[in-house]
Amino acid sequence: MSSTKIFLKSSDDKTFEIDETAARASETLKNIIDGGCLDGVIPLPNVSSNILPKVIEYCKKHGGDNGSSKKIANGGVDKDKEILPDYDEEEDKREKVRVDELKKWEEEYMDFDQQVLYDLMLAANYLHIKGLLDLTVEKAASMIRGRTPDQIRENFNINSDFTPEEEEEMILIEDEWDDEWAFD
Amino acid sequence: MGNWSDLYDEILELIIDKIRTIEDIIRFRAVCQSWRSVSVMKRQRQRQRQLCPWLMLAARKGSDRRSFYSLSTQKVYRMDLPGVRGRRCWFSQGWLITFGVDMEMHLLNPFSQVRIPLPPQPSLPYQYSPESKFNNPKVLLKIFIKKVVLSSKPSLSVKTTHCKDSKDENCVIMAISSQFNTLAFLRLGDKVWTPIDSPLGFCDIIYFNGQFYAVNTSGRLFICDIYTYFLVESLGELFLIGQGNDHPDFDEHGYNNPDEPVNENTGGYETKGFFGFGVYKFNFDNRKWTHVRSLENRTFFVGNNTSLAVFPSNQCPGCEPNCIYFIDSYHDSFYYGAAHDMGVSWINPRGIQPQYVGRRIFSKICTPLWVGL
C-alpha cells in the first residue's frame, strides 16, 4: 500500500495531514481520492479543528477497514474464519488479542463529553465512516437506556418543550410487583 | 454548540435502533417534541417489530389503571387508561380494540390515548334473537367477539391526542364474532360492520401480504376476499371488475401510483370507501385475466343486476365513456336499509363523483338497480 499524504482543511481553516490508506476509512474521502480530481487540500466545511484530529485518530487506527467495529459487535468472532478448512488456533488467539486491544482502545478513545460526541457523530455521518458512526450512536444510546427523561435531558443538555401536564402524562410509573389481587 | 434536540432525523433513528425496550422508547419520547415525533413516525413506518412486547395484566374491577409486565426488565409498570375501564380488549398493530357493556367498540392507542370509535356490536352479523338468554350486554361482552385484527395502523397525525372520528380507507378491520365464529370487516370510517359470506368456525385471522388469512377450528386456511367482483360482457370480450381500493393487483400494475393523474372533480363526495376499481379482460387462449388501463370508450354499469356495458355515442347525454357507474351491491346492504355506496368512477385518470343524489336509495325491500331497454 502506498502511503501518499492527504491534506484536510477544517471549517476554521486549519490543515491536517492523513495517510491515504487511513483516509480511505471514510467513504466520502475514498470517493474523492478515487475520483482522481484530488488537487492539494480537501476542504471539510462541516468539521472543525477540534474534532478533525479525533476523526483522523480513528481513521489511522482503522486504516480503511470499515468492518472492524462489526467484529466486536459480533463478540469478536469472524464467521468467515470459522468455515476455513485450515483453521488456525494460533491465528484465532492473535485475532482475539487484537480484538481485545481494539476494544480497550475504543473505550479510551470514546472518553469525552456529550458536545464532542455530538460533533464527532455528525462528522462521522458527513464523512461516511460507518464504524465511527456506529460507535458514537452506540454511546448516545447508552446514555439513554435505563434512564428517566430528566436524566436523558441532563445528559444531552436538552430543554423540555412539553407542558408540565404533558410531562406528567408521559411519566412511566413502576407498579408494585405483586399487590393483592381480588379476582371477580 | 450542537443541539441534541435538533439532531438529524436519520441519526436519531440510528440511536432509536439501539434502544431495546419499550420502556426506554417511552422515556425517549418524553425527552422533547422532536425526539418524540421522530420515534413515533419511525414506528408508524416500520413493519418489523423489534422490541419484546409487554404483558398487559388482567383488569381490576372499577379501575382506570392497567399494569404491564416487561419481560426485558422484569418490572411492572402502570398506566392510567380510563378508555379500557370495564372493557374487554384485543390488540393489533399498536392499537387496543375495546368492547364494553355499552356495546360500543373503540380503537385505543394505549401510549398516546388516542381513541377512535368503531361501529357498535349490534351492527355485527348473526345477533342473538331478542328472546335469547344470551342477548344481554354482560353475556355478549364475554362471548360475542372472539378476535379483532387490523390490516395496518390507522394513519393519524402525531399531534392528535383526543377522540377522533377518523376515516382511513386503507385500514381494514376484521373480526371473528357471533356464536358461529364468522367473519365481518369494515374500513375505518364505516358506520356498520360488513359480513363476509364464508364458512363458520374461524378461530384466528391475520393480515399478511395484502390480504387477510383466516384459519378454522380444523386447521384449514382461508384467504378472505373482501373485494366485490363483477362480470361484464361487451362485444365478445369478457371483463372482470374488482371493486376495492387496495386490491393486491392494483399496486403491481401501478394502479395506486400516486403519480397517476387524479380527476379533480371528486369534491368531497363521501362514499363507503370503494374508491378503486380494477378492470381485467379475460384471455381465452391462456385462460388468464389481464389488467387493462382503458375501457376503450366503454361505459360499465354494475350493481344488483347483470352488469351492462354501453358504447356511448356523442348523442348519449349523461353517460360518460371510460367510466364505471356503480351501486352498492353488498348482499346484506339492504338489511341495514340503505345502499350506502353509489357513484361513477373514472378509470384513467381515476376519480369518483356522485351520480343520483336523492333520497330514494333507502329501502329494506329492494335497493336501486340498473335496468335498460
Residues A122 and A158 in one domain: no
Residues A137 and A164 in one domain: no
How far is the CA of B57 from the CAs of A120, B26, B87, in angstroms? 44, 18, 13
First to last CA, chain B: 79
Residues A125 and A165 in one domain: no
Tell me the mean pLDDT in the region B169-176. 88
Distance CA B285, CA B4 (A): 64
Residues linked to residue B243 through DSSP beta bridges, in sequence order? B228, B277
Chain B positions touching A148 (Cβ under 8 A) are 27
Q: A55 near A47, Cβ under 8 Å?
A: yes
Asked if the model's pLDDT at residue B245 lies above 50, the reply is no
B28 contacts A152? CB cut-off 8 A = yes
Highest mean pLDDT among A66-70, B146-150, B170-174: B146-150
Asked if the model's pLDDT at residue B159 lies above 50, the reply is no
- pLDDT at residue B266, as a whole number: 34
Tell me the mean pLDDT in the region A120-148. 95
Q: At what angle do helices A130-142 and B9-17 cross, to 10 degrees?
A: 70
Question: Residue A61 sits in a domain of what CATH number?
Answer: 3.30.710.10
Chain B positions touching A149 (Cβ under 8 A) are 27, 30-31
Q: Which of A7, A23, A114 is nearest to A61 (CA)?
A: A23
**Side chain identity at residue B349, one-letter code:** P
3-class secondary-structure state, position A18? strand
Q: How confident is the model at residue B95 (pLDDT cuts 50, 70, 90)?
A: very high
Asked if the model's pLDDT at residue B124 lies above 90, the reply is yes
**Residue B360 exposed, middle or buried by CB count within 10 Å (0-12, 13-18, 19+):** exposed
Residues linked to residue A9 through DSSP beta bridges, in sequence order? A15, A43
Per-residue pLDDT tens digits for B255-277:
333 333 333 333 333 333 344 67
Distance CA A175, CA B67 (A): 7
DSSP string, A97-132: HHHHHHHHHHHHHT---HHHHHHHHHHHHHTT-HHH
**Residue A46 exposed, middle or buried by CB count within 10 Å (0-12, 13-18, 19+):** middle
Find the range with the poorest average confidence among A146-155, B148-157, B228-237, B334-343: B334-343
- What is the total residue count of chain B? 373
Residue B93 gets the label, from left (phi > 0), alpha (psi -120 to 50) or beta, of left
Place of cell 353517460: B319
How far is the CA of B345 from the CAs of A4, A147, B273, B313, in angstroms? 67, 55, 12, 19
More confident residue, A68 or A154: A154
Asked if the model's pLDDT at residue A33 lies above 60, the reply is yes
Tell me the mean pLDDT in the region B243-252. 44
Residues A120 and A170 in one domain: no
Residues A177 and A138 in one domain: no
First to last CA, chain A: 77
Indicate the number of domains in chain A: 2
Residues A94 and A156 in one domain: no
* DSSP assigned state of B302: E
Give percent of chain B with pLDDT exceeding 90. Answer: 38
More confident residue, A16 or B49: A16
- For chain B, give the mean pLDDT: 80
3-class secondary-structure state, position B135? coil
Tell me the mean pLDDT in the region B218-232. 83
**Domain range holding A39?**
5-142
**Side chain identity at residue B312, one-letter code:** P
* DSSP assigned state of B306: S
User: Of the candidates A133, A148, A174, which has its C-beta nearest B77's C-beta?
Assistant: A174
In this structure, the dihedral spanned by the alpha carbons of residues A7, A9, A15 and A21, taken in order and rounded to 10 degrees, is: -30
Residues A129 and A161 in one domain: no
- Locate the chain A residue with the closest alpha carbon to B65: A175
A160 contacts B4? CB cut-off 8 A = no
- pLDDT at residue A26, as a whole number: 93
More confident residue, B254 or A182: A182
Residues A55 and A76 in one domain: yes
3-class secondary-structure state, position B81? coil
Task: Provide the chain A residues 7-36 that lie in CB contact (below 8 A) with chain B.
Answer: none
Distance CA B44, CA B211 (A): 19
**How many interchain CB pairs under 8 A, A with B?**
91
- pLDDT at residue A83, as a whole number: 55
Chain B positions touching A184 (Cβ under 8 A) are 61
- pLDDT at residue B259, as a whole number: 38
* Test the A interface: residue of B25, B32, B112 with most A CBs within 10 Å: B32
Residues A29 and A92 in one domain: yes
Q: Is B338 on the interface with A (CB under 8 A)?
A: no
Q: B215 near B228, Cβ under 8 Å?
A: no
- pLDDT at residue B246, as a whole number: 44
Residues A117 and A176 in one domain: no
The structural domains of chain B, ordered by start, are 4-45 (1.20.1280), 56-84 (no CATH), 87-219 (no CATH), 229-354 (no CATH)
Assigned C-alpha cell, A161? 418543550
Q: B5 near B35, Cβ under 8 Å?
A: yes
- For chain A, give the mean pLDDT: 84
Assigned C-alpha cell, B123? 351492527
Q: Cβ neighbours of residue B267 under 8 Å, at least 6 residues apart? A: none
Highest mean pLDDT among A74-78, A111-115, B337-341: A111-115
- Locate the chain A residue with the closest alpha carbon to B111: A170
Chain A positions touching B19 (Cβ under 8 A) are 141, 144-145
Q: Which of A122, A145, A121 is nearest to B31 (CA)?
A: A145
Q: Cβ neighbours of residue A179 under 8 Å, at least 6 residues apart? A: none
Residue B329 gets the label, from left (phi > 0), alpha (psi -120 to 50) or beta, of alpha
What values do phi and psi take at B191, rounded to 5? -95, -15
Q: Cβ neighbours of residue B170 under 8 Å, at least 6 residues apart? A: B151, B152, B155, B187, B245, B246
Q: B180 near B200, Cβ under 8 Å?
A: yes
Task: Provide the chain A residues 112-171 that lie in CB contact (below 8 A) with chain B.
Answer: 114-115, 118-119, 121-122, 125, 133, 137-138, 140-141, 144-149, 152-153, 156-162, 167, 169-171
Distance CA B109, CA B116 (A): 9
Task: Determine the number of helices (DSSP H) and then strands (DSSP E) in chain B.
Answer: 5, 23
The alpha-carbon radius of gyration of chain A (Å, integer) is: 22
Per-residue pLDDT tens digits for A80-106:
555 555 667 888 888 899 899 989 999
Tell me if ipTM is over 0.85: no
Residues A64 and A153 in one domain: no
- pLDDT at residue B169, as a whole number: 67
Distance CA B287, CA A105 (A): 67
User: Of the candidates A158, A172, A177, which has its C-beta nearest B27's C-beta?
Assistant: A172
Residues A159 and A138 in one domain: no
* DSSP assigned state of B191: S
Place of cell 492527504: A6
Cis ω for the linkage preceding B261 (within 30 of 0) = no
Q: A121 near A136, Cβ under 8 Å?
A: yes
Q: How far is B117 from chain A (nearest CA, A)?
A: 22
A137 contacts B15? CB cut-off 8 A = yes
